[in-house]
Amino acid sequence: MKKRVVLALGGNAILQPGQVGSYENQKANIEASADSITEIIKRGHELVIVHGNGPQVGQILRQNELAKEEIPVQPLPICSSESQGFIGYMLQESLKNRLPEKNVATVLTMTEVDLKDEAFKQPTKPIGSFYTEEESKQLEVEKGWVMGEDAGRGYRRLVPSPKPKTIVEVDVIRTMLENKIIVVSTGGGGIPVAKNESGQLEGVAAVIDKDSSALKLSEEVDSDVLMILTDVPNVYINYGKPNQEKLETISIEKAEEYYNEGHFSDGSVGPKMAACIDFAKQGKTAIICSLDEAADALEGKAGTRVVG
Ligand SMILES: Nc1ncnc2c1ncn2[C@@H]1O[C@H](COP(=O)(O)OP(=O)(O)O)[C@@H](O)[C@H]1O
Ligand SMILES: NC(=O)OP(=O)(O)O
């Protein structure tokens, strides 16, 4: 059966921790991701691709800061829009080369947030490169950055990450899907905007979690499936321990029980499972799987599925 699918591409699909953020590295990773996405398109499903931008938006901001003697530093929402542009371009190129008969297009997407969101008081979203603990302490003192540990992989700069309220361009995205266009949208969770005192949308200094925005988009385009692609084939309980156990198809109740027992860490798989649980509560299927198994996972042959 043909399905409407919102597919969230993990940060690793574009740049792996420790890799230099060169064009060549990012292009090679996107080429590898495009194979599995192509398979889903070939099977006739409608598709919106949401991608991460944590490494890229941090890198663009840093480039700005390093060039500030010559060119004014651009605010974070501008950096977000730049990351959507270049990642969208790379995805479009890779997919169009594989499927010349298909139309693939990127929508620069704004995501509305609430200025009163508590997240503005406490930066939690890691962006940019990884640093050692010692470097991180130095950066806090020298540059005034807020730094934090990122899921056991090192230390990174943290920025506020408010919850998505609504996807501003959702009508455009829906129209594109109805016209069989493969859509790249809501990259990096969307460019964060909020209504100012005059009720006008204005960019805000934040980076939204792309898994939360993918959930919001799935709800707003009424997708049948939410798929979150990352670098592990399944979600596990007791992850990394000798009694680690793979999760295949699980109920909402089981997923919530494991979530509350702390099996899914906050900085990595936790937000993905939270999004899947919320989506499954609408009576739909949410999947977490590895990039190369995406097409099989959609048919129930791979990955972890939370079912409503
Ligand atoms: N319970 C768990 N099951 C599976 N993976 C887990 C679990 N807890 C932590 N992880 C880690 O979550 C990582 C995926 O999250 P993350 O790196 O944030 O994803 P992405 O950047 O692809 O969005 C995996 O590489 C894995 O090391
Ligand atoms: N915006 C966002 O969630 O990006 P990453 O997935 O790269 O962290």
Mutate to test the pocket of ligand 2, among 12, 209, 228, 268 (most ligand atoms within 8 A of CB): 209
User: Which atom of ligand 1 is closest in space to residue 238's alpha carbon?
Assistant: 1
301 is annotated as an active-site residue: no
Q: Which structural domain, as residue segments, surrounds residue 289?
A: 4-113+166-307
- 77 pocket-lining for ligand 1 (C-beta < 6 Å): no
Report pLDDT for 10: 86
Mutate to test the pocket of ligand 2, among 14, 109, 125 (most ligand atoms within 8 A of CB): 125
- 264 pocket-lining for ligand 1 (C-beta < 6 Å): yes
- Domain-embedded: residue 90: yes
Report pLDDT for 202: 98
Report pLDDT for 154: 93
pLDDT tens per residue, range 4-21: 999 999 877 899 888 899
Q: Number of folded domains in the chain?
A: 1
State yes or no: pLDDT of 112 exceeds 80.
Answer: yes
d(CA 300, CA 145): 44
| 11 compared with 77, residue with greater pLDDT | 77
154 is annotated as an active-site residue: no
Mean pLDDT of the chain: 96
How large is the average pLDDT for residues 280-295?
95
How large is the average pLDDT for residues 15-35?
91
Report the nearest-CA residue for atom 13 of ligand 1.
Answer: 268
- 155 pocket-lining for ligand 1 (C-beta < 6 Å): no
- Domain-embedded: residue 127: no
d(CA 283, CA 280): 5
H or E, element range at 266: none
State yes or no: pLDDT of 37 exceeds 90.
Answer: yes
d(CA 208, CA 67): 25
Per mean pLDDT, which range of 122-131, 195-204, 263-272, 299-308 is the poorest? 263-272
User: Which atom of ligand 1 is closest in space to residue 228's alpha carbon?
Assistant: 23
User: Which atom of ligand 1 is closest in space to residue 229's alpha carbon?
Assistant: 22
- Domain-embedded: residue 122: no
165 is annotated as an active-site residue: no
Report pLDDT for 18: 84
Are 211 and 273 within 8 A, CB to CB? no
- Domain-embedded: residue 71: yes
Mutate to test the pocket of ligand 2, among 191, 207, 212 (most ligand atoms within 8 A of CB): 207
pLDDT tens per residue, range 208-226: 999 999 999 999 999 999 9
In angstroms and rounded to an integer, the radius of gyration of the C-alpha atoms of the chain is 19
Report pLDDT for 17: 82
Report pLDDT for 161: 96
What is the phi/psi pair of residue 166, to 5°?
-160, 155
- Domain-embedded: residue 247: yes
Burial state string for 272-289 with b = 16 or more CB within 10 A and e = fewer than 16: bbbbbbbbbeeebbbbbb
Report pLDDT for 151: 79
| Ramachandran quadrant class, 2 (left: phi over 0; alpha: psi -120 to 50; beta: rest) | beta
- Domain-embedded: residue 294: yes
User: Which atom of ligand 1 is closest in space to residue 230's alpha carbon?
Assistant: 22
Per mean pLDDT, which range of 96-100, 145-149, 176-180, 265-269 is the poorest? 265-269
- Domain-embedded: residue 239: yes
Report pLDDT for 152: 83
d(CA 106, CA 95): 12
State yes or no: pLDDT of 267 exceeds 80.
Answer: no
Report pLDDT for 308: 85
Are 239 and 231 within 8 A, CB to CB? no
pLDDT tens per residue, range 123-182: 999 999 999 999 999 999 999 999 999 878 899 999 999 999 999 999 999 999 999 999
Confidence of residue 192 (pLDDT cuts 50, 70, 90): very high
- Domain-embedded: residue 123: no
CATH number for the domain including 221? 3.40.1160.10
Q: How many A from CA of 285 to the centre of ligand 2?
A: 22
| 120 compared with 231, residue with greater pLDDT | 120
Catalytic residue among 189, 272, 284, 303: 272
Contacts of 290 (CB under 8 A, 6+ apart): 229, 230, 231, 232, 233, 302, 303
Report pLDDT for 153: 86
Ligand number, closest to the Cα atom of 246: 1
How large is the average pLDDT for residues 31-39?
93
| 16 compared with 111, residue with greater pLDDT | 111
Confidence of residue 69 (pLDDT cuts 50, 70, 90): very high
